[in-house]
Amino acid sequence: MWYWLFKYILLGPLLQVLGRPKVEGLHYVPNSGPVILASNHLAVMDSFFLPLVVRRRITFLAKSEYFTGTGIKGWFSRWFFTAVGQVPIDRSNADAAQAALDTAERVLASGKLLGMYPEGTRSPDGRLYKGKTGLARLALQTGVPVIPVAMIGTNVVNPPGTTMLRFGKVTVRFGKPMDFSRFEGLAGNRFIERAVADEVIYELMQLSGQEYVDVYAATVKNRDKDSAAPDPASEPGPAAASEEATRIPETAAG
């Protein structure tokens, strides 16, 4: 109930005024059945503008920190993200990554729309970054089609690093469904999963017009964080992560 109240009464009308969202390609989203919506990630409000323009309910897997706060603020955060249909996941280790994928499979098995961010976290500078392979493994294991979605202008309405909302112009552009049935039975093959992830990111680049950067967004964020530290010489430098080590759930708004 709260999901629809937020969409049509409590939050949706405000977003309509602030972002004046334009929607392209919505006919690619089926009226029923499981689908993965794979979106670029510019701002926290991506997870609100996307559900605003899609008639069906979308489930996102949200980082567990949104559900574990204390005090009134923690209670409100937990209530709000639960009310709008977000499911908590722990992104701290490889076991948690698999648990997140298992949760995502259950969402799809129930015939729902699942929203995912292949980049794994918000873009630090508006460019499009390398996709992680969790989405690819999920698509290969379930056989569910992937619809690429380009969010454009959400970082103007909701500037990164702030909770401020401003007036802007948002475009939500849906691409044609992507079918990876030609790779049936190859889930777990890291070369195939990398190829699928890259194919999805390429479609997002074509739809969004973003410049592509062949590194993980999280790597850039960590590097920037380290360079901003008061005494970086006293801290260990970030180790170069392998493909397996970077397979962290990219379904959450991070």
CA dist 149 and 172 (Å) reads 7
Task: Yes or no: say if 89 and 251 are a contact pair by the CB < 8 Å rule.
Answer: yes
Q: What is the 3-class SS of 70-94, one letter each residue?
A: CHHHHHHHHHHHHHCCEEEECCCCH
Average pLDDT over residues 66-75: 82
CA dist 218 and 252 (Å) reads 13
pLDDT digits (tens, 9 = 90+) for 143-188: 999 999 999 999 999 998 888 899 999 999 999 999 999 999 999 9
Helix axes 134-142, 94-109, angle to 10 degrees: 40
pLDDT digits (tens, 9 = 90+) for 2-25: 788 888 898 899 999 999 999 999
Q: Residue 254: which pLDDT band, with cuts at 50, 70 and 90?
A: low
CA dist 108 and 137 (Å) reads 13
What is the model's pLDDT at position 231? 53
pTM, whole model, 2 decimals? 0.84
pLDDT digits (tens, 9 = 90+) for 213-249: 999 999 998 887 777 665 544 444 433 333 433 343 4
CATH 3.40.1130.10 fits 22-218, yes or no: yes
